[in-house]
Structure 1
């Protein structure tokens, strides 16, 4: 089913766009319903205090719809993305028959990460974007400067991550190259070679983790500065009420939670970029294993 196509996230989307679009649409619908629940809870409380049950029934209906959609999406997801993994694995195995078993085994595992991105990271990113938009719009209603601070924070985050993208790519390349040797190394039954291989993987994992921690720390510092600025600005320039200050901080923090998804997704994309280059390259066994 993937014959003649490059094995990339884009090609998988083009080939399976109908089934993937259904699960993503359900994800967006689930996100919207989840976002609306606090609003309906407020309406229900006001209605019950006045002995009216219409809004309470609406709340129950929304929660029921959320339950049905949430469960149905997860059942559907498992089957759709499971099928994509099978097709991708079959294609990778068929195109890699000239490579060593160790390399093929590693690349099938790497290929599954492309599907994992479509199943998990992409929907999380969509949810994050919806939350970011809602937060920015609400902050703008209090004062444009609050919204511009949020948008400026996102721009700085993206610039900051771009400075580390090539480094992440190189580290993932080294890690994947070492992982391709694992089956052959284990087949030698030589403790010293196995130990060297595992220690090499550990070193690369530590380097990746340290870089991710540094980037996360810088981005989190940036986001905390954003929240602090919005608190100061709201207290100094916005009509001061307890409710206003609470709303500004609540939506600023909601923005922070959603924004933290961005570096995670970008780090995942750096790894996927290397994987897509690797599994689509035509190299011989000696080059792959040297």
Structure 2
């Protein structure tokens, strides 16, 4: 890994462009294939209902090929990810230890665990974020292809959700800072303080986690209200589609639900990003 004075998501990505780029490419291919499934299922439904035997089997074979490709890419990516990100965790752990050599053991212990969260995000939570982004984009494009107002309602719902999250971003950072500060005190509490101090420490940890969870609940509640309005709106807008076939109705409903499923992933991932922003600041304090 190239030497760098900071430990952040961007520095990790810069120093491992090829490795991370390869796994991102596989994530994109995997999710584009997955996002296309409802469309090709819809084609297959229409073919089975209206076309000749030869045309029916052709569409089914295309769908089978799509599924086979999806399975193959998914397996290869997971085998690759485990090895690549495992090596990155080792390098980041060593760099964290070197940069915090003058800090107490309690601080180094907590921040070494925190540094792993940066790599965990890249391996475990960034792919779902890419999944959500691809599903949202594909859903919007395909819905707009059926009726422009279906696409407009999806774009409007997405913008409102981002505005809701941005209003809470700094609050999430402050709550995570309080939680991380308390976690850094744990080794000191265990080694130097009486048993009663441990109870106080655990109660403080619990209190900070409750505040964080409560804020997440409020954000999710607001976002679910937006998504509820989106689903109802799209159901009403479906009546504007001219003579829809069974396959088209299936695709419209499925892509509307996929939009909702992908949108639910966003606040979870973005809240983690807020936490990592605070961790990055903490790791780079000399």
TM-score (norm 1): 0.88
Question: Deviation digits for residues 216-260 of structure 1, max 9, x if unmatched?
Answer: 01101111011111212323x333647355443322111111111
Counterpart for residue 20 of structure 2: 20
Q: Tell me if the contact between 1:2 and 1:91 (Cα under 8 Å) persists in the aligned partners.
A: no
> Once structures 1 and 2 are overlaid, which stretch shifts more, 259-268 or 80-89?
259-268
Mapped partners of 2:144, 2:56: distance in 1: 34
Residues in 2 aligned to 1:10 and 1:174: alpha-carbon distance in whole angstroms = 24
- The equivalent residue for 2:220 is 216
Q: Aligned partners of 2:55 and 2:170: how far apart in 1?
A: 62
Give yes or no for contact 1:168–1:270 (8 Å, CA) kept in 2: yes
The 3-state SS of whatever aligns with 1:164 is: helix
**In the aligned structure 2, how far is the partner of 1:43 from the partner of 1:234?**
21
1:171 lines up with 2:175 in the alignment: yes
CA 1:274–1:251: 2 relative to 1, 3 Å: same
**1:29 pairs with 2:37:** no
Equivalent residue in structure 1 for 2:128, among 124, 127, 137: 124
Where do residues 46-65 of structure 1 align in structure 2 (5 Å cutoff)? 46=48, 49-50=53-54, 58-65=62-69
Matched, 1:75 2:79: yes
Of residues 241, 248, 255, the one that matches 1:251 is 255
Q: Tell me whether 1:229 sits opposite 2:233 in the alignment.
A: yes
Which range moves more in the overlay, 189-198 or 245-254? 245-254
Relative contact order, higher structure (CA 8 A, sep 6+): 2
Q: Unmatched 5+ residue regions in structure 2? A: none
Q: Deviations over 1:78-127 (max 9, x none)?
A: 01001110000000001111111111011011111111111122211111
Deviations 1:10-33 (A, max 9, x none): 000000010001111111112223
Moved more, 129-138 or 64-73: 64-73
Given the superposition, is the C-alpha separation of residues 171 and 129 from structure 1 closer, same or farther in structure 2, using an over 3 Å criterion? same
1:276 maps to 280
Residues 16, 168 of structure 1: CA spacing in aligned structure 2 closer, same or farther, 3 A cutoff?
same
Q: Is the 8 A contact 1:231 1:245 kept in 2?
A: no
Aligned residues: 281
Counterpart CA distance in 2 for 1:116 and 1:265 is 12
Give 1:35 shift: 3.3
Residue aligning to 1:201 = 205
Determine the C-alpha separation between the residues in 1 that align with 2:134 and 2:158: 14
Specify whether residues 234 and 58 from structure 1 end up closer, same or farther in structure 2 by C-alpha distance, changes over 3 A only: closer
Matched position secondary structure for 1:4:
coil
